[in-house]
Amino acid sequence: MNNGYGMGSGAPQQTKEINVEDAVLLIKNAATISVITGAGISAESGISTFRDPKDGLWTRFDPNILSNLNGFAEDPQLVWDWYIDRRVDMMAAQPNLAHLGLAKIAKTYKVDVMTQNIDDLHERAGSSNVIHFHGDIHGAKCFAGCGWVGKFEDTNRDGSMPACPSCSGLARPNVVWFNEALDNDLVWDAKDNIVENNLHIIIGTSGQVEPVASLVYNYARPGTKVLSINKRTIDHMWYADYSMTGSAGWIIDEISKRI
C-alpha cells in the first residue's frame, strides 16, 4: 500500500501525549503544517458536532435522511429546514480561540487548513485558501439538473423551498452527502499539501468519515509527524505520533501565544 508516501509500516507503535511546549517545538521544527479539522473545532463556537455521545447531531437526527441524496429527494422540505436552521446558527456563531490561533500561527509558518466543516469560521478567523472537503453552508446548486451552482442567497426563496434561479427547479445545499463523491480537485490539492508538509495536525474529528479520515495516513511522507488534538482519546487516530487531549480552543490558543 505504501506508494512512496504514507505512514505505511512507519506508523508509530505508541501515541505519546504531549504538552503545549512540546507542540510549539514540533511546529517550529516543521515550519510547514497541514491542519485537518472536523466539527470539534467549531464546538466551542456553539455549533453541534455530529457524533458527540451527549448532543451530537446524529444522536437527534438521522444521517440517512439528512445527509443523503435519497433522503433529500424524499423530503426536500425537511432537509432544507435542517440546513437553513444550521446556516442561521453558523452565521450567528463566532470563530473561537482555535480558529483564531490557527490564523495567528499561519502568520509565521505555512499552515494549510483543510476542513470537513461547512461553516466559514476558519475564514472569518483569518485563515485563507481553506479547503472544504464536504462543501459550504452558503453554497447551493440546482437539483433539477440544469447545472447551476451558486450561493444560497442567489436562490429564489418566494416558495416554500429554495429554487434554482436559472431554471426555477428545486435547488439543494451544495454539500457532499454520504455516497456522494468529493470534489476531485480539492482532494488532490489536499494530497499535495500533505505530501509537501512536515507536520500534520488533526483537530476535532472522530476520524470516521472517508476519504478524509485516511488522507494523512495515506499521503504523509514517512518520517513526518502527526499530532491529534481532541477532547477525548479516539482510537481512529492510532497512527498519530502525538496527542493532546483537551479543548481545541485552549490548546491552540496556548500554542499560538508561544509562536
Question: Where in the sequence numbering do the catalytic residues fall?
Answer: 134
3-class SS shares of the chain: helix, strand, coil, % to 5: 40, 20, 40
What does 143 bind: ligand BV8, Zn ion, none (CB cut-off 5 to 8 Å by kind)?
Answer: none
Task: Check if the beta carbon of residue 100 is closer than 8 Å to that of residue 126.
Answer: yes
In the complex, least distance from residue 226 CB atom to ligand BV8, rounded to whole angstroms: 15
What does 142 bind: Zn ion, ligand BV8, none (CB cut-off 5 to 8 Å by kind)?
Answer: Zn ion
> Should residue 170 be labelled a site residue for Zn ion when binding is judged by CB under 5 A?
no
| Residue among 88, 91, 92, 146 that touches Zn ion (CB under 5 A) | 146
| Residue among 205, 224, 243, 256 that touches ligand BV8 (CB under 6 A) | 205
Q: What is the DSSP letter of 245?
A: E
| Residue among 6, 23, 36, 38 that touches ligand BV8 (CB under 6 A) | 38
Longest dimension (CA), the chain: 58
Task: Check if the beta carbon of residue 198 is closer than 8 Å to that of residue 33.
Answer: yes
| Residue among 184, 210, 223, 235 that touches ligand BV8 (CB under 6 A) | 210
Rg of the chain in Å (alpha carbons): 19
Q: Which is nearer to ligand BV8, 106 or 229 (CB)?
A: 229
Please confirm whether the linkage preceding 95 is cis (ω < 30° from 0).
no
> Should residue 71 be labelled a site residue for ligand BV8 when binding is judged by CB under 6 A?
no
Of 32-40, 122-130, 158-166, 186-194, the window that binds ligand BV8 (rule: CB under 6 A) is 32-40
In the complex, least distance from residue 132 CB atom to ligand BV8, rounded to whole angstroms: 9
The site that binds Zn ion (CB under 5 A) totals a number of residues, namely: 8
Question: What does the buried/exposed string (b/e) look like for 75-111 if buried means 16 or more CB atoms within 10 Å of the residue's CB?
Answer: ebeebbebbeebbeebeebebbbbbbbbbbbbeebeb
Residue ranges of the alpha helices (H) in 75-211?
A: 76-92, 97-105, 121-125, 184-196
Interface ranges with ligand BV8 (CB under 6 A): 38-40, 43-44, 49-52, 56, 67, 116-118, 134-135, 175-181, 204-206, 208-211, 230-232, 234, 247-248
